[in-house]
A and B are shown apart, each in its own frame.
Chain A
Amino acid sequence: MLQLCGVKFRWPGQGAFGLSLSDFAVHQGETVLLLGESGSGKSTLLSLICGTVLAHSGQVLVAKQDISELSAAARDRFRVEHIGMIFQQFNLLPFGSVVDNILLPIRFAPQRRRRAGDGQAEALRLCRKLGLQPNILPAKAARLSVGQQQRVAVARALIGQPPIVIADEPTSALDAGSQSAFLDLLFDQVAENNTTLLMVSHDPRLARRFDRVLQMEDIAQIESLAA
């Protein structure tokens, strides 16, 4: 589902660090945890997978598509069609209503929109599944509690059933109990749709739930070049 081989990338600017990655792959329906300390290149790897930056050499294949062959606008669309994103800070639009936040990705992704069918009904269904009260749908995202925001972020990532869900440190803001409850919800949904899940974290305690656990330093080399 995801395949990176021989990838080299360097951020622009003096003293910026680079990343090189010989081989990294995630298969369809697999749940993978990528462990790494901050500064280990996790964000760079995610940017490469999502196509917001392009590798200088090597190939990045997402759903068998070499994303470097796509134009910038096509990459934006391709990303949202195939990848549901969950961020560390959840990144909801605080001024938007819950339902607008959930429906935002399918606004830009026709295939996911088609799969979602009636967007409002699908948003409601996902909220129910994730244990959210239907009456919070029209509420502003900024008014939600952290736990509610997190569920909304998951609903946003899952709507329209993207084949891949990428979660970037989604549990770091939570205490242990909430972490566990959150992962239960996420894994239920991922299993239901046979979705590929790639989670990035620094917390090894999450490892036992995943099919496969990778250490960032095993797959990628950081090149920090003195200017």
Chain B
Amino acid sequence: MILRLAIGSLGARALTVAMTILAIALSVVLFLGVEKVRAGAKASFADTISGTDLIVGARSGSVQLLLYSVFRIGNPTNNVTWQSYQEIARQPQVDWIVPISLGDSHRQFRVMGTSLAFFDHYKYRQGRGLAFDEGVVMADLYDAVIGADVAATLSYEVGDPIVVAHGIASFTEHDDQPFRLSGVLEKTGTPVDRTVIVSMEAIEAIHVDWRNGAKTPGTTTPTEVIRQMDLTPKAVTAALVGVESPLQTFSLQRAINQYPNEALLAVLPGVALQELWGIVGVAETALLGVSAMVVVTALIGMMATIFSSLNERRREMAIFRAMGARPSIIMGLLVLEAALTAAAGAVLGLGLLYVGLIIAQPIVDGAFGLWLPIEAPSLREIWVIVGVVAAGAIVSLIPALRAYRLSVADGMMVRI
């Protein structure tokens, strides 16, 4: 009955109570939303590359290797010779190996030379493969495939010509050997979206006339001649490796790291990704802190509302007192009310979050390649809700204490 009367009393002040509930709900949406985006970002980040067991490159740091081979950030310290690459490919543990050659660019996007096997073996988000939005894979030496962001930014379509620049942010262009766009990939939310993909042979071909990073003056080998040349690469920047059985990953990693002829490094992508997330993950904590402050603000708002309602409710409290309710019961009523309000806010917030997720999921995935999973509330989220209700009850103790004093002073006669 007391609970029914508490709900009745809340109902009598429906508008202000609804506003308070809404404020708490929105703060909970924000908090849980940030939490979802954070988890989604972390998962998307970890899903940038999947299905690859080892990334191999010249010896440097694991984060650095991951950054330039997968995220195309920074530059490799060194290349891996084609001979070493071939020896690794011949190791019995190796199921497949995909070479990557970096160093050139098109506008602000990196150009990556690779083999056609890349399209089969590069996986993201728990084993999703690359798919073509338009066109097909490279068929000719001078064919190029671009990621979704490249196509969107430069408004390219299949059949358009592309001229690759030597190096990054360089004015020297390989304009004697233009490429033709053969395909555009679907959005993946990975660095592939921002990459121009050509074949390993094409990378070799555009550098035929180059020696030691500079074009040999006066020599321009015609493309007809280049097509007849042996375009076997001399080096690769990195390689993605899949093993026959996961158990062999570590033995292959050890073998590569101890490769006698060249200083090489093999890293597990998952481990390196976690290391990298440790660095960029500081921002997430800050974001979480800010949204926690919003929840606190909403609860303080509720406390203010309860405070301002006390005066108009002195009569109600006096009635309870006259009917034998101790001042502590009056106090308990207010705390109960606050807990109910906070609970309603938290539950409404959770509901709004799911509605928001259902609406936003495809939009966010399309725009940012960020996949926000819709799942039943996690234990952590349930604790957040319990925490909001408990915090609501705790902050209401302050106005409740004032109600206690008022009801002691007023007794059952309201004297205003």
Q: Could you tell me which A residues sit within 8 Å of B by CB distance?
A: 43, 46-47, 50, 52-53, 72-73, 76-77, 79-81, 85, 87, 91-97, 100, 103-105, 107-109, 140, 142, 156
Among candidates A52, A94, A100, A156, residue contacting B321 with C-beta atoms closer than 8 Å: A52
A50 to B5, CA, bound (A): 24
B411: contacting residue among A53, A73, A94, CB under 8 A:
A53
Interface string of B173-213 (1 = CB under 8 A from A): 00000000000000000000000000000000000000000
> Contacts A80-B323, A103-B1 hold; do A93 and B316 have CB atoms under 8 A apart?
yes
Q: What are 16 inter-chain pairs, A to B, with CB distance below 8 A?
A: A43-B415, A50-B322, A50-B411, A72-B327, A73-B326, A79-B324, A85-B322, A85-B412, A91-B318, A93-B9, A95-B9, A100-B8, A103-B1, A104-B1, A104-B320, A108-B324
B1–chain A nearest beta-carbon distance, Å: 6
Binary per-residue interface labels of chain B (311-345) against chain A in the complex, 1 for a CB within 8 Å, 0 otherwise: 00001101111111111110000000000000000
Given contacts A50-B411, A53-B411, A91-B315, contact A100 B4 (CB under 8 A): yes
CB distance from B325 to the nearest CB of A (A): 6
* Residue tally, chain B, CB below 8 Å to A: 27
Residue B11 CB within 8 A of the other chain: yes
- B12 in the interface, Cβ–Cβ < 8 Å? yes
Alpha-carbon gap, A95 to B329, bound state (A): 18
Contact between chains at A50 and B412 (CB < 8 Å): yes
Q: Kindly list chain B residues whose C-beta atoms are within 8 Å of the C-beta of A95.
A: 5, 8-9, 11-12
Report yes or no: B326 in contact with A94, Cβ–Cβ below 8 A.
no
B5 interface neighbour in A73, A93, A109, A142, Cβ under 8 Å: A93
A95 to chain B, nearest CB (A): 4
The 8 Å CB contact of B1, one of A53, A94, A107, A140, is A107
Contact with A along B12-38 (1 / 0, CB 8 A): 100000000000000000000000000
> Nearest A residue to B407 by beta-carbon distance?
A52
> Which of B8, B321, B412, B415 is within 8 Å of A96, CB to CB?
B8
Contact A52 B411 (CB under 8 A): yes
Q: State the CA gap A77–B327 with chains docked (Å).
A: 11
Chain A contacts for B364, CB-based, 8 A: none
Cα distance, A50 to B408, chains bound together (Å): 13
Q: Is the pair A46, B413 in contact by a Cβ cutoff of 8 Å?
A: yes
CB contacts (< 8 Å) of A53 on chain B: these are 411
| B2 on interface, CB distance cutoff 8 Å | yes
The residue among B1, B4, B315 with the most chain A CB atoms within 10 A of its own CB is B1
**A93 contacts B319, C-beta separation under 8 Å:** yes
Whether A100 lies near B5 (C-beta < 8 A) is: yes
User: Majority SS of interface residues in chain A?
Assistant: helix
Beta-carbon nearest neighbor of B4 in chain A: A100
* Least distance between B345 CB and chain A CB atoms (Å): 20
User: Which chain B residues border A77 with CB–CB below 8 Å?
Assistant: 324, 326
Do A93 and B8 touch across chains, with their CB atoms under 8 A apart?
Answer: yes
- Asked if A108 contacts B4 (CB within 8 A), the reply is no
* Cβ distance A121 to chain B, nearest Cβ, rounded Å: 16
Whole-angstrom distance between the Cβ of B340 and the nearest chain A Cβ: 14
CB contacts (< 8 Å) of B8 on chain A: these are 93, 95-97, 100, 140
Q: How many angstroms from the CA of A16 to the CA of B118 in the assembled complex?
A: 92
Q: Which residue of B lies closest to A89 (CB)?
A: B315
Question: Which single residue of chain A is at the shortest CB-CB distance from B413?
Answer: A43
User: Out of A76, A87, A96, A97, which one reaches B324, CB within 8 Å?
Assistant: A76
Cα distance, A108 to B2, chains bound together (Å): 11
Complex: A46 Cα to B413 Cα, angstroms: 9
In the bound complex, do residue B318 and residue A94 qualify as a contact, i.e. CB atoms below 8 Å apart?
no
> Once the chains are docked, how many angstroms separate the CA of A38 from the CA of B329?
32
A94 to B319 CA separation, bound complex (whole angstroms): 11
Contact A47 B413 (CB under 8 A): yes
| Distance of A72 Cα from B324 Cα, bound (Å) | 11
The answer to whether A91 touches B319, judged by C-beta atoms less than 8 angstroms apart, is yes
Complex contacts, A47 vs chain B, CB 8 Å:
411-413
Residues A100 and B1 in contact, CB atoms below 8 Å apart: yes
Give A103 to B5 CA distance when docked, in angstroms: 12
| Interface residues in B80-127 (C-beta closer than 8 Å to A) | none
Give chain A nearest CB distance to B209 CB in angstroms: 89
A105 with B323: CB separation less than 8 A:
yes
* Residue on B nearest A46 in the bound complex, by CB: B413
Of the candidates B315, B319, B324, B327, the one having the most CB atoms from chain A within 10 angstroms of its own CB is: B324
* Bound: A73/B325 CA distance, A: 9
Interface pairs A-B: 3 shortest CB-CB: A80-B324, A52-B411, A108-B324
A52, closest chain B residue (CB) = B411
Complex CA distance for A95 and B315, rounded to whole angstroms: 13
- Residues from chain B with Cβ under 8 Å of A91 in the complex: 315, 318-319, 322
Chain B's nearest CB lies how many Å from the CB of A82? Answer: 10
Contacts of B413 in A (CB 8 A): 43, 46-47, 52
A42 and B1 CA atoms in complex are apart in Å by 33
Which residues of chain A are near B412, meaning CB under 8 Å? 47, 50, 52, 85
For residue B171, give the distance in angstroms from its CB to the closest CB of chain A. 78
Q: List the A side residues contacting B316 at CB < 8 Å.
A: 93
Contacts of B5 in A (CB 8 A): 93, 95-96, 100, 104
CA gap between A47 and B321 in the complex, in Å: 12
CA of A133 to CA of B366, assembled, Å: 64
**Bound complex: CA of A219 vs CA of B385, how far in Å?**
60
Among B11, B319, B327, B328, chain A packs the most CB atoms within 10 A around the CB of B319
A156 to B324, CA, bound (A): 12
